[in-house]
A and B are shown apart, each in its own frame.
Chain A
Amino acid sequence: MQQTNKLQPFFENLEFEREDNHMVINFGPQHPSAHGQLRLILELDGEQVVRAVPDIGYLHRGMEKMAENMIYNEFLPTTDRMDYIAATSNNYGYALAVERLLGIEDKVPRRAKVIRTILLELNRIISHLFWLATHALDVGAMSVFLYCFREREYAMDLMEDYCGARLTHSAVRIGGVPLDLPEGWLGQLAKYVNELPNNIKDYEDLLTENRIWRMRLEGVGVIDADLAKSWGCTGPILRATGIEYDIRKEEPYELYDELEFDIPVTDTGDSYGRYKLYMEEMRQSVRIIQQLITMYDKTEPELMAHVPQYISAPKEDIMTQNYSLMQHFVLVTQGMRPPVGEVYVPTESPKGELGFYINSQGDPYPYRLKVRAPSFWHCGILQDLLPGCYIADIVTIIGNTNIVFGEIDR
């Protein structure tokens, strides 16, 4: 027979009714609009929030500890599971950090750079579509959700055609990419990105002038420039405060210094302004991908950097040359040994600044790896942002800050 269930409700000493008419309520950790496992402890005066304490850690998997016990190549698929909405941006952020640690950043072949940049921007589109879909659903616009998921599905089909996975891609390697684009893929991509601006216009027709959408977003969750800078907010949240800072432009990596694109900025600081930025960023991603499609044909077929000390030789060499085989064996069983030193490498993920700090002591395992995930700070700011809001706005604000718990808890 089974044990009778002794599990009692457990409220951790929360006082639900108090003398000052304030009420403390527990929002989450299971809440459909919390976009993951977010628990908010809210002190309410009527419907107004007086104090908010976000409680995180429900999705903690100890990724930084795992990284310290894995060789560098082994950790790459784990980074997929951080921001699982746009996995390639994590893979790329990590790969770039290791490449800079090794000093082989400029040895990555041009074709690999083109493919990586295409994947990064396609992931940005996937992530922004997902954001718009779920945010609109939270605020009450069901049809936008269905339209966005349709387009996101096409983009994920493209990802699947390239790397075989839809969410956890691992399509980037340290030193390049493992595969060339399949035949006809660029044609399908071109068709998709040429169609996308029309779809974006459809979403805007449904939302931009929609009375309910505007009433629920305008003037809600206003973050001013000082607060955003103080809390380390990046990405669309920072750009909505009037600061034009995009790592792709300011500290260019990959091919971004050769590409033409604009950084949308607004100074409203509210949720509606951020919505406008996201829509415009998708258009800019389309523009970037269109330029990359023409760049691809002018590249040599090489895909991985040629650095035998750190990166395995191409498959033909491994199968035909003894020394390449030996090196491949050592790199797979023992792992590469980067030089002693440390790097902090920021990249612009769809959500903001994704940085990897790697401290290497010359071992095949990183001595310390710290992930600077944008959502972590965008979630921390809730404790300064929510007081003064109404409880109905909380859903808008959480949805609008675009937080993903895979990368907050890591």
Chain B
Amino acid sequence: MMRPYTPKDNVQAKAYYTDRFWVAPRIAEEPVPKEGIYAEDLDALSAKCKVLKAYIQRGQLVIHIDPKDNITALKTLKEERWYEMLSEMSAVDFLAERGGFEVFYQILNLNTAQRIRIKCFVDENEAIESVNPLYRSADWAEREMWDLMGVKVNNHPYLKRLIMPDDWEGHPLRKTYPLEGDEFAQWYEVDKIFGKEARDIIGPENRDPARIDRYDTERFARLGHEVPRGTPPEELKKLEEEGVVTPVRYQEEEGVFLVKDLNEEPKVLDKRK
């Protein structure tokens, strides 16, 4: 039997059935009206840099520009058109289809309550200039974009991973990133704490919350002197006499105050039901 082919450039969940004649409808890209605030914004912008495409989608102006013009464009809109807030920026992964990312800047004019989305297409090996000098909020947004998508940013003051650990490999929001956790993710904690050579001793992580550990121990309060669960009483008594294990003395047996014997008929599952 042949194994089904799964494309490696996009490992995301996919629709299991799509009609062969089905064509996805598109949201209309309306032309920008000749008059009004958006028209003025667009005029101010096209005087300073090249506008590749501009349209209105669901009430918001969307402008496509060249990635090299991002500082010029945002500066123009901020200083001449009072788009003073960068409410969001991030990227969309189009590596498989077009070999790059679509970076978007969502800006807001607080006086007119109007929003513009500036978009530019960045190739995989190309870097985009940081807009941190214009908007401080780009500091964390660009770090997150670098961390999760792997879009390179030039002249950022502190381009370091924000959400994932500093020494993480790979960029989790890419379409190629495995959903189940790759080998690096699986051994991350073991490698970091004990070293790679301990992988064999510790074994892979078991994520079954109902797992019953057969190598479980009792009397684990005294570190290094634990007793394997199910040790025969006579052997345990011998260990207690040797002083290897501290004997437990209950309140009922004139032992330690408040340490009660709750042990009658213990209910221990040996395996999962």
Give the B-binding residues of A (Cβ under 8 A): 1-7, 56-57, 60, 62, 64-65, 68-70, 100-101, 103, 227, 229-232, 234, 243, 245, 250-251, 334-335, 337, 339-344, 346, 353, 355, 357, 359, 361-365, 367-368, 370, 372, 376-377, 380-381, 384, 409
Count A-B contacts at CB 8 Å.
Answer: 136
Q: Which single member of A62, A69, A334, A341 contacts B172 (CB below 8 Å)?
A: A62
The answer on a CB contact under 8 Å between A355 and B27 is no
**Contacts A1-B226, A376-B140; A340 near B24 (Cβ below 8 A):** yes
- Chain A residues positioned under 8 Å from B14 (CB to CB): 363, 365
Segment with Cβ contacts to A, from B1-9, B65-73, B85-93, B263-271: B85-93
The answer on a CB contact under 8 Å between B226 and A2 is yes
- Chain B residues positioned under 8 Å from A334 (CB to CB): 15-17
CB distance from B32 to the nearest CB of A (A): 16
- Chain B residues positioned under 8 Å from A361 (CB to CB): 24
The answer on a CB contact under 8 Å between A100 and B58 is yes
Contact with A along B168-183 (1 / 0, CB 8 A): 0000110001010000
Among A68, A362, A365, A370, max chain B CB count under 10 A is at A370
Q: Which single member of A57, A229, A250, A339 contacts B26 (CB below 8 Å)?
A: A339
B13: interface (CB < 8 Å): yes
- Chain A residues positioned under 8 Å from B58 (CB to CB): 100-101, 103, 341, 343
The answer on a CB contact under 8 Å between A69 and B117 is no
* Shortest 4 CB-CB contacts between residues of A and residues of B: A362-B24, A341-B27, A232-B137, A250-B113
CB distance from A355 to the nearest CB of B (A): 6
CB distance from A316 to the nearest CB of B (A): 28
**Contacts A4-B224, A370-B90; A363 near B163 (Cβ below 8 A):** no
- Chain B residues positioned under 8 Å from A57 (CB to CB): 161-165
The answer on a CB contact under 8 Å between B110 and A229 is yes
Contact with A along B43-68 (1 / 0, CB 8 A): 00000000000000110101000000
Q: Which single member of A243, A343, A346, A372 contacts B110 (CB below 8 Å)?
A: A243
**Contacts A4-B224, A229-B84, A339-B24; A357 near B104 (Cβ below 8 A):** yes
CA distance A376 to B162 in the complex (A): 11
The answer on a CB contact under 8 Å between B88 and A355 is yes
Contact with A along B1-43 (1 / 0, CB 8 A): 0000000000011111100000011110000000000000000
CB-based nearest B residue for A8: B193
Q: Which single member of B13, B57, B136, B202 contacts A70 (CB below 8 Å)?
A: B13
The answer on a CB contact under 8 Å between B217 and A2 is yes
CA distance A364 to B19 in the complex (A): 13
Q: Which single member of B106, B110, B194 contacts A355 (CB below 8 Å)?
A: B106
CA distance A227 to B6 in the complex (A): 48
Apart from A250-B113, A343-B57: 7 A-B pairs, beta carbons within 8 A: A7-B193, A340-B24, A340-B27, A361-B24, A365-B14, A372-B87, A377-B137
B188: interface (CB < 8 Å): no
CB distance from A7 to the nearest CB of B (A): 6
CA distance A69 to B60 in the complex (A): 27
CB-based nearest A residue for B16: A334
